[in-house]
Amino acid sequence: MSVLSWPGCGNVRDLGGLPTLWGGRTRTGALVRSARPGPPATPALLGYGVRLVVDLRLAAECAADPSPLAGHPCYRNLSVLRDEDRVLEAMGDTLPAIYRAVLDRGADRLARVVTAIARAEPGAVLLHCHAGRDRTGLAVALALALAGVPDAHIARDYARSGESLPAPAEGLWAQVTEDTMLRTLAYLRDEYGGPESYLGLDRDVVRLLRARLTHP
């Protein structure tokens, strides 16, 4: 995993180099996460080889604050929240509770995101929401878990988003820690049997995702 510096875009990381349970590593240049890119980031991300940008925000957010890539062939808006779930803080009292609620309500939407990653054209896929922390964190966690990345490494990457905030985290956002993601992944296993059964993906999609994200 490496931190990238793109003008007009924060919290950018290439998720290559992470170990997998099967002895390989994730590919560099396959999956990138970030906060919402600003206009100056467009040349940098396209120059990095990004061929699919998945904007995880609600349609209403995208209408109020359009992506600079809206209208570009590489851009897709695939919200992981229901239209009525506009305020994350209203979905639970803690971050683990909020993430459980997102998982409970959003399997079909998260499955669309993971399928888009698996079926993307050759090149990097960029996932982002607003801060690149919560919705992006969940979508990335599912993709990495399917690819065989151990929980500890998924949680460590997630916690980097808390460290990258421009100001000291307060309230709920002080809970962007490894423990929060570890608890979320444990809930996914205990309640749904793990990411594969939770998402209900075809075996071909899982195979494509693993081939895309990992080295043998």
Instruction: For the chain, list the domains and their CATH numbers.
Output: 2-213 (3.90.190.10)
**Rounded CA gap, 216 and 213, in Å?**
10
pLDDT value, residue 96: 96
pLDDT value, residue 167: 59
- Look-up of token digits 């904007």: 55
Higher pLDDT, 164 or 76: 76
Give 185-197 pLDDT, tens digit per residue. 999 999 999 999 9
Q: What is the CA radius of gyration of the chain?
A: 16
* Element (DSSP H or E) covering residue 101: helix 95-105
Mean pLDDT of 163-191: 86
**Rounded CA gap, 136 and 118, in Å?**
16
Give 75-131 pLDDT, tens digit per residue. 999 999 999 998 888 999 999 999 999 999 999 999 999 999 999 999 999 999 999
**Rounded CA gap, 208 and 63, in Å?**
32
pTM above 0.85, yes or no: yes
pLDDT value, residue 213: 98
